[in-house]
Copies of this chain bind each other. A is one copy, B any other.
């Protein structure tokens, strides 16, 4: 920029004003600077230097737990991210993906340590605690999340997990179902899956799965069968559903409430494999309210307005970037809606 300024016959500070657009510059001077820049092939201030001086990097970190491939397999995760992107785009601020492998969480630390970011987002509900929080707090980087990590330094966008899951179960009960099963998402980064006892919930580190399971038990009864999926995807739903459905008729639930739409899709597929018709022989509810155009019938589900959730998160981040201290920002709660589709009906008998 120094060269450009020299060539235009102005001080470097004036050239800076031309490029940044703040401060008064005569139009003729600006022209001269711009043409000097063009002649020298200068394409604008170096973002690195600009970022140092301004104290702004123009990007926020976004944590992705596990592998991208797996994290983004869920349309819900992507929808939240999309909403977040919409709001951040207006700031404007970029999104810097930070991977946190399940097997070596400290990798995320190393990555974050060297990254120039203005804020950090835990966009998916991950573990209740994270070493990142202390580090970021020490660096003065504000944080936002959706339920986790549980720390008052992290601003949250929440939903009523337990209550919403209860809504789904109440819908099933109102249809007449009494034997209702539950398929949960994993309760921690790596799980074996399989039947879950109520007491197991106390060791959960993923609050969303845990609280939904609690909501389920509170509404369906503490003896209702609960199975934890190994992964929160269709395959996970298939495997979990087999445990619930591949049993003698009299023991089989007449309805299954799954903790996500993807899991519900797996349940539906397993039902088909076992010759059970949905909703005639088995009612299925999901959770999330994402679009799954490949399902034959629209899913009965709890719509948690993923995109809006992401936007709310983005607005929180925008306020944090504006300098509002985290402790002056109230957590936001998004309302959820029971959306009745074609996968629930009264039980056959």
Contact = CB atoms under 8 A, between A and B. Distances in A.
Number of copies of this kind of chain in the complex: 2
Contacts of A150: none
A45 to B, nearest CB: 9
Interface residues of A, number: 60
A75 B82 CA distance: 16
Contacts of A50: 114
A203 B82 CA distance: 31
Interface stretch (A90-98, A176-184, A243-251): A90-98
A81 interface: yes
A139 interface: yes
Contacts of A272: 296
Nearest to A273: B296
Interface stretch (A66-74, A211-219, A276-284, A321-329): A66-74
A180 B111 CA distance: 50
A307 B69 contact: yes
A92 B292 CA distance: 35
Contacts of A75: 69, 73
Given A51-B116, A233-B293, 5 more contacts: A51-B51, A67-B85, A85-B97, A89-B99, A116-B116
